[in-house]
Amino acid sequence: MQLRPPGREISGGDPASGGDRAPGGDRAPGGEGGTGNGAKGGLARSSRLMAAGTVVSRATGMIRMVLQAGALGTGLLASTYNIANVVPMSIYTLLIGGALNSVLVPQLVRARAEHADGGRAYEQRLVTLVLTVLAIGTALAVWAAPQIVAIYTPDTPRTHAAFELTVVFARFLLPQIFFYGLFFILGQVLNARSKFGAMMWTPVLNNVVLIAMFGVYIGVMAGPDRVEDITPGQIDLLGFATTGGIALQGLALIPFVRAAGFRFRPRFDWRGTGLRKSIVAARWTLLFVLANLVAMTVVTHYADAADHQLPTAGVGFSAYSYAQGIWMLPQSIITVSLVTALLPRMSRAVTEHRLDDLRGDLSRALRVSGVLIVPAAFFFLVFGPQTAQLLLAHGTVDATSAGPAGQMLQAFGLGLIPYSAQYLLLRGFYAFEDTRTPFWMAVWISAVNIALATACHLWLPARWAVTGMALAYTVAYGVGLLATALLLRRRLAGRLDGRRLFRTYGKLTVSAGAAGALGWLAARACSGVPLSAGWTPVLTLAAGAATMTLIFLGLARLLKIGELRSLPGLR
């Protein structure tokens, strides 16, 4: 389960959430087998292009988040907008996004290879089906906005103003459902033609629109502190521009699909074309999505309750989503270069009964990603408050109200390790075309997360309840990693390269832990330097991060962590 930061850019992602498989299905970008030098070169170029697009998208997304926090703050007012902005992606994913990549797009790739017309008719039927479902779903969602919002935040006399504002924002933002679908289906039409760049780079347009919007909001409109003080003009700016950014992102792909040879003609002759069978086959993926959305909804509801109790303290949903957005950055960037390259190779290894190669690919991916993920996790654990203060303490947010987000970032911190590892191990099941086991893993993770989040909501004071929920997320993925590893080990004839993985991760933990401790001491030593309040977090974080990086690299070399030399990618 993941609460994605509002106004987010889209690239890659989880299979169940619309970015599950390698672009274009099971095939390597370079060709069917992907074994020749040309195929490998094409895969490498495509991976580099996608990684570059993701880095730029995440960088502009981070700028957007900084401006968003400065404009709206981290309290209840921000959460009315942020909750309304989470809803469209959740509904899109539940409607069709989970099935799109996992089942329908691989069918599209096969149709292009096997049908006499090169899959043209199937493409037109698929695009027509997706857009029809989304158009109907969007209209119904806008009509039912109050009922949908009530799932996330209650409508009581005490909370009525915030509830009403969230409904207003939701009606502005729910049309994003259609444009999310347009973006993803056109992107997959391009991916099926081995055109990967546009889908990775057009999300930057959305971020540019949002950066401009929040810049105007900060520069021209006085930011209110209370829900009751926001003006109709501010609501219109936030609503129209936010949906406009997603619309631009989707519409921007139209020239690219036309240049790639796709011509859209509505086709409603869906009977007997295999689409129904494909949708039925996606049931486990849809259940996977549902399990994640249930947990996300529960946590959002609890986090919103904390916002209502302390509306200006920054201890609820917005702080949680900002902290999680920062925390996800390392995983988001690494996923593109590793999973995109790995999944086609692993699928072929399963087809050809080469379990040793599958095991080796998974082990190598875990060890190479760990070289970045483990120190990043310790960095967030050690420097969460300084990171949040540097990124969020601007405009309407001061150092005090940025503090809870920093503590949530610390609570998330070490969870990056099991989250990343479990994400990679699930790809082993997808290589076996097994979507049922990932569903049950999602159920277990969501159940643990809901149980622990409920305990935090009931037993912790509002100031610490959502920080506890961030720690609950970490614990839930630790449990999920253990269960996933045990089940996948059974599928791989009782071996998962455990000794080498434990040895590598043990060395990484020692190196990152020691480096983090020394980095913390360096940051603490610099905190006494007489500087203006705005520059203190910059100096302390820079000193701590530089010290941690140098110490980690030195210890990693001393402990002979060979994967340190493999950071550019799989070779």
pLDDT value at 18 more than 60: no
Amino acid identity at 418:
P
pLDDT value at 520 more than 50: yes
Tell me which of 122 and 230 has the higher pLDDT.
Answer: 230
Lowest mean pLDDT among 52-61, 228-237, 239-248: 52-61
Closest CA to 346 of 570, 189, 190, 564: 570
Tokens of 522: 């360096």
pLDDT value of residue 33? 37
For tokens 């996608």, the residue is 50
Amino acid identity at 111:
A
Closest CA to 416 of 496, 335, 502: 335
pLDDT value of residue 562? 86
Q: Helical H runs in 352-461? A: 355-392, 399-413, 416-431, 436-459
Average pLDDT estimate for 144-153: 95
Average pLDDT estimate for 209-220: 91
Residues of the chain with pLDDT > 70, as a percent, come to 81
Predicted confidence (pLDDT) per residue in 179-206, tens digit? 999 998 898 888 777 777 788 888 999 9
Closest CA to 1 of 412, 520, 473, 489: 473
Tell me which of 38 and 329 has the higher pLDDT.
Answer: 329
pLDDT value at 219 more than 70: yes
Strand partners, 28: 31
Average pLDDT estimate for 363-371: 89
Q: What is the distance between the alpha carbons of residues 228 and 481, in angstroms, rounded to a whole number?
A: 44
Q: What is the distance between the alpha carbons of residues 104 and 25, in angstroms, rounded to a whole number?
A: 9
pLDDT value at 6 more than 60: no
Q: How many CB atoms lie under 10 A from the CB of residue 557?
A: 12
Residue ranges of E strands in 127-220: none
The pTM (predicted TM-score) of the whole model is: 0.87
Per DSSP, 22 falls in state P
Concatenate the DSSP letters of all residues of 269-297 into one string.
Answer: --TTSSHHHHHHHTHHHHHHHHHHHHHHH
Tell me which of 279 and 306 has the higher pLDDT.
Answer: 306
Q: What is the distance between the alpha carbons of residues 361 and 345, in angstroms, rounded to a whole number?
A: 8
Q: What is the distance between the alpha carbons of residues 34 and 336, in angstroms, rounded to a whole number?
A: 18
Q: How does 238-249 read in b/e, with b if 16+ C-beta sit within 10 Å?
A: bbebbbbbbbbb
pLDDT tier, 473 (very low <50, low <70, confident <90, very high otherwise): very high
Strand partners, 297: none
* Alpha carbon distances (Å) from 65 to 62, 145, 319, 455, 518: 5, 25, 11, 30, 30
Strand partners, 469: none
* Alpha carbon distances (Å) from 177 to 64, 134, 312, 338, 432: 21, 7, 30, 29, 31
pLDDT value of residue 268? 75
**Mean pLDDT of the chain, nearest integer:** 84
Nearest-10 Cα torsion for 523, 526, 527, 533: -110
Tell me which of 313 and 565 has the higher pLDDT.
Answer: 313
* Alpha carbon distances (Å) from 165 to 150, 171, 172, 393, 483: 12, 10, 11, 25, 42
* Alpha carbon distances (Å) from 314 to 231, 323, 462, 473: 21, 11, 11, 19
Lowest mean pLDDT among 25-34, 287-296, 396-405: 25-34
Q: What is the distance between the alpha carbons of residues 241 and 57, in angstroms, rounded to a whole number?
A: 18
Concatenate the DSSP letters of all residues of 482-542 into one string.
Answer: HHHHHHHHHHTTT---HHHHHHHHHHHHHHHHHHHHHHHHHHHHHTTS---TTTHHHHHHH
Predicted confidence (pLDDT) per residue in 414-457, tens digit? 999 999 999 989 888 887 878 889 999 999 999 999 999 999 99
pLDDT value at 24 more than 70: no
Domain boundaries, the chain: 55-273, 283-497
pLDDT value of residue 15? 35
pLDDT value of residue 482? 95
pLDDT value of residue 28? 32
Q: Are 539 and 349 in contact (CB under 8 A)?
A: no
pLDDT value at 93 more than 60: yes
Contacts of 458 (CB under 8 A, 6+ apart): none
* Alpha carbon distances (Å) from 276 to 111, 129, 280, 395: 15, 11, 6, 51
Q: What is the distance between the alpha carbons of residues 516 and 120, in angstroms, rounded to a whole number?
A: 55
pLDDT value of residue 272? 62
Burial class from Cβ neighbours inside 10 Å (0-12, 13-18, 19+) for residue 36 reads exposed
pLDDT value at 136 more than 60: yes
Average pLDDT estimate for 169-173: 97
pLDDT value of residue 297? 94
Average pLDDT estimate for 35-55: 58
